[in-house]
Structure 1
Amino acid sequence: MRASRDDRNWTLTTQNEASATRSGTHFGDPTVMGLSIGFIILFVAFSLIDADAMTAAISVGFAWTAKNLGAYFQLLLLLNLFIAVGVAVSPAGRARIGDRQRPDMGTFKWVSIILCTLLGGGGVFFAAGEPIYHFVVTPPAFSSEPGTPAAVPNALAQSFMHWGFHAWAVLGTLAAIVLSHHHYDRGLPLQPRTLLAPLLGEARMRGVLGGVVDAVCVIAVVAGTVGPIGFLATQMNFGLHTLFGVTEGYGTQLMILVVLGGLYVSSAITGVDRGIQMLSRFNVMLALGIGAVILLFGSTQFLFDSWFQGFGTYLGSFFEMATMTSQAAPDWWMKWWTVFFFAWFIGYAPLMAIFVARISRGRTIRQLVVAVALLAPVATSLWFTLLGGSGIFYQMSGAIDLGEALNDFQFDVATLAVAQALPGGKLMALAVLVLTTIFVATTGDSMSYAVSVVNAGHDDPQPALRAFWGVAMALMAAVLLYMGAGQIGVLQQFIVITAFPVSLVLLPTLWLGPRAAQAMARRQGIVTS
């Protein structure tokens, strides 16, 4: 297919802008930089001026979005999953991203980066506490008695739903396919605006409108990333205090942020092929080691039976849980669980898709969909069973009692309590804290890189730009923590509000994804029509 004159003009402009950025003549798209940095400054400023008013305003927006748009978010994720799987099993699924016969990186490195980046600190933060919470507070889709053996598979199934197939699929399937086609085959930039270019026109998306689209997606990711960074500081401080008597307080939290920021900024500066993939590989190896200890020396039979039955319950009750709305469940439950998580994933999706497209060159579309939407959720369910399932076992045996803490959403307490009860005691708890730290770091480095790609307009942003965004997010977390951990929570609520405009960027991928896959397959001679 011959590109139009407008297509060729934007491709030429993009290449010229990329060359200019690499040579250092500008530091990024001024619209994206202005709006994104403006958001950070305004959020912090209003929080300092009147934190209560800021909290109240965001809480109102959060509640309205969750109540009125929750079903829309759920439907978007469901459609994304089924359409992506349909594309994968079609002949177009054999098309290779970037039209390369060999992948840029080995399978283990590739899968490690996907798991660490897309699961991130959030998955590790909730892996211990969420299954126990659903064990002591029965989810609306089930009727089992809380705290009984019958509640175990239901608790795990609900956790698998929140971190399962369609949650993963929205982070890196259809949007990644659209970006891959338009970037590698047509030379368009790896930016969220490219997702809308086929619909609104490439010339229009070159201008301020495209910058606004990119900025909205960057703001959503900043809100979603600063949260785990800030919460890690409080969780790590609590863990070090409990295990070793380290002083609790802002000073210790600030030191943790400095170490964490230095870790993920250094990783982001060295790039995907060095720091990011090395950190991800180490994290996966550490997770495998921790998992092996839990499985070999923990409640092995209970964990195996729980995962098997829990996963079966997940599959059997998939549609009931996936389509559960506030008509069948309490508003508070939907707002703080299903809708919150799904909106969080939507907010992350465009930049995650950029990152997935960047690391998947040479992979087939089928491999991409299988890895992201199928294998990664299964791996996540295993991890949630190892930590959360062990926590349920200890809760049932009386070794721990987390009912009151989890009812207050104190998930940092849950993670440490479960870790200390695991085989190895204090040593295992320290290993889990290190693992959580590195998981947050892999989210920080990948998102610093992805935000820099969006600003620069090409996939080799200046190291200074990567460092700037990494430091900016750490500084924002530090300022909000100084005001109290509650402001971090308010910022995380904000991502639910930003999920709506971001969802409008993702919505066209439901039909543009199959079209992009078909175009890639035609270009590579896999299909003829």
Structure 2
Amino acid sequence: MLDRLQRLLGLQTIPGVFFTSAGVAALFVLVAVPFDQAVADAFGALTGWIARNLGWFYILSVTSLLIFLLGLALSRYGSIRLGADDSRPDYSNLTWFTMLFAAGIGTILMFWGVAEPVSHFANPPFDGVTANSEGAASDAMTIALYHFGLHTWTIFAMPGLAIAYFAYRHNLPMRISSLFYPILGDRIYGPLGWAVDVIAVLGTLFGVATSLGLGTLQLNSGLSYLFGTPSTGWVQVLIIAVITSIAATSVALGLDKGVRRLSQINIVLAMLLILFVAVVGPTVFIAEGMVQSVGNYFSDLPWLAFWTQTFTESDWQRQWTLFYWAWTISWAPYVGIFIARISRGRTIREFVAGVLFAPSVFTLVWFGVFGLSAINVEMGGQVALAELVQQDPSVAIFAFLEAFPLAEMASLLSIVIIIIFFTTSSDSASLVIDMLTRRDDQPSLVRQRIFWAAAQGIIAATLLLAGGLDALQNVITSLGLPFCVLLIFMAVSLFRALAADYRGYTVSELVQGRVFPEVEGASVQKGES
């Protein structure tokens, strides 16, 4: 029946993946629009249950994956290449690092770069820390780096490494289901594999929709600041419609003409904004604070990575850490595939070092410039930044820029950056979702890519109308859990394949049970008896 429907619509897809994903998304919208409050309450209750009972699982999973990746890089498997043994990287180190910066969290940094440090400075999450104190400022930066540093990039690196390994070394399709070939074998081409890809598609769809929703709130605040535009639901829906239209145009043009050009423009504009704040802001304070923040981050990371608020009755971790991990996990298929596509020929050791540490340095610079400057503004009393952020975090960057010269021009530049950031996120995600829902031998149809871009916009508008920021956080925290489980199995699958690869076996031989176990602590190589 699905095959017949596909022919009728003139699509090129894997019907079980495409129509199931589209159907679940449509069902969500159809239920959420007339019953918005009931849906918001249901996801709120589900998120509360997850936070109480499985919050520790999110924390332990992401930290364990970080340890796993570092262990792989330092192990005997670190020299295995993502491709043939004689392959070499497609891009220079500098080009590769630059592309990594644009891959993941630019959209998130624009929203939280000011809002998060100021929030923690004014409301410290740790017992015994006084608000607006030196200790609160230090902790605020440490928490921000924890949320956006190595742990975030671990979530992106895990699927990115696995996708690159199985695609370039074993010629499997560049889909999430391929990562489970050592466990499922040829069943990845049937319902079990389709189920994995459906989870990846829905995670990406709702993750990008959440980002689009947050960007819409931020754009509405910026337009209100500059032009007095009202902050209402209909304005936000209009903003989403405009961004979705731009994204649809970009995705129709394709990767090189659309996505790539927008990404290049946006990196330049983002760097201009960073330089502006660094030069007109407290430059020496920023430099000193960045150096100190690095030390504090690595000093506190061992205990912070396992901190679960066990002895504190607080909702803080659900609102911050669990939301971030779930949100990042929902982005993992999209960003993982992007990173895999630019990483052919690198060794596992090079991949892990580059993907974990290079973007984390950029995160340090971003929070060093915006976060430290925002704390300095709050300490100096130039703007009641903390009070404004508590009322509405989407106004953070615009209220912050009021403390500097050329505030209106800088705010206008920020609006342009936000629009392009969210447009590139949407169109890139549409390309990836289209890839996940069709076979490699099928062409990528423009109408399919536009459909997914439109779906992101519709879901974002639905989430905003169903409860705004709280709805965005609750839905993504709930939906991130299934893919978090997949990440664990992904690590197991990758390790099994690497162990076989190191001994000279293919993944097909691994699935067929032809890989010999280790004997007396030594590897038995292929062909030995």
TM-score tier after normalising by the smaller chain length: 0.7 to 0.9
Q: 1:379 to 1:519 in 2, by over 3 A?
A: farther
Superposed CA deviations along residues 396-448 of structure 1, whole A, max 9, x for unmatched, are 1011113333334x211112111232343111111122222222222212211
- Tell me which residue corresponds to 1:6: none
- Tell me which residue corresponds to 1:496: 477
TM-score by length of 2: 0.87
- Tell me which residue corresponds to 1:373: 356
Matched, 1:121 2:101: no
Inter-partner Cα distance in structure 2 for 1:455 and 1:179: 16
- Tell me which residue corresponds to 1:293: 276
Inter-partner Cα distance in structure 1 for 2:254 and 2:58: 33
1:196 to 180, 187, 196: 180
- Tell me which residue corresponds to 2:374: 391
- Stretch of structure 1 that moved more, 303-312 or 515-524: 515-524
Amino acid at match of 2:117: P
Q: Is the 8 A contact 2:70 2:352 kept in 1?
A: yes
Residue 284 of structure 1: how far off its partner (Å): 1.9
Inter-partner Cα distance in structure 1 for 2:167 and 2:87: 17
Q: Is the 8 A contact 1:135 1:392 kept in 2?
A: yes
Q: Is the 8 A contact 2:88 2:346 kept in 1?
A: yes
Q: 1:93 to 1:275 in 2, by over 3 A?
A: farther
Residue 94 of structure 1: how far off its partner (Å): 3.5
Identity score, percent:
29
Inter-partner Cα distance in structure 2 for 1:95 and 1:89: 12
Inter-partner Cα distance in structure 2 for 1:404 and 1:254: 27
Matched, 1:348 2:331: yes
Would you say how many aligned residue pairs link Structure 1 and Structure 2? 501
Q: 1:30 to 1:491 in 2, by over 3 A?
A: farther
Q: 1:457 to 1:389 in 2, by over 3 A?
A: farther
Q: RMSD value over aligned CA atoms?
A: 2.8
Inter-partner Cα distance in structure 1 for 2:503 and 2:396: 52
- Tell me which residue corresponds to 1:418: 400
Amino acid at match of 1:194: S
2:304 to 321, 332, 339: 321
- Structure 2 SS opposite 1:128: helix
Matched, 1:151 2:133: no
Q: Is the 8 A contact 1:190 1:457 kept in 2?
A: no
Structure 2: runs of 5 or more not aligned: 506-522
Q: Is the 8 A contact 1:102 1:362 kept in 2?
A: yes
Inter-partner Cα distance in structure 2 for 1:223 and 1:241: 27
Q: 1:491 to 1:240 in 2, by over 3 A?
A: closer
Q: Is the 8 A contact 2:117 2:144 kept in 1?
A: yes
Residue 82 of structure 1: how far off its partner (Å): 1.7
- Tell me which residue corresponds to 1:243: 226
Q: 1:73 to 1:162 in 2, by over 3 A?
A: same
- Structure 1 SS opposite 2:481: helix
- Tell me which residue corresponds to 2:74: 89
Inter-partner Cα distance in structure 2 for 1:240 and 1:116: 25
Inter-partner Cα distance in structure 1 for 2:449 and 2:352: 28
Amino acid at match of 1:177: L
Inter-partner Cα distance in structure 2 for 1:114 and 1:270: 22
TM-score by length of 1: 0.87
Residue 127 of structure 1: how far off its partner (Å): 0.8
- Tell me which residue corresponds to 2:44: 59
- Structure 2 SS opposite 1:27: coil
Matched, 1:507 2:488: yes
Amino acid at match of 2:147: H
Residue 63 of structure 1: how far off its partner (Å): 0.8
- Tell me which residue corresponds to 2:87: 101
- Stretch of structure 1 that moved more, 154-163 or 380-389: 380-389
Amino acid at match of 1:440: F
Q: Is the 8 A contact 1:156 1:311 kept in 2?
A: no
Matched, 1:430 2:415: no
Q: Is the 8 A contact 1:128 1:418 kept in 2?
A: yes
Alignment of 1:133-172 (within 5 A): 133-140=119-126, 143-172=128-157
Q: Is the 8 A contact 1:73 1:339 kept in 2?
A: yes
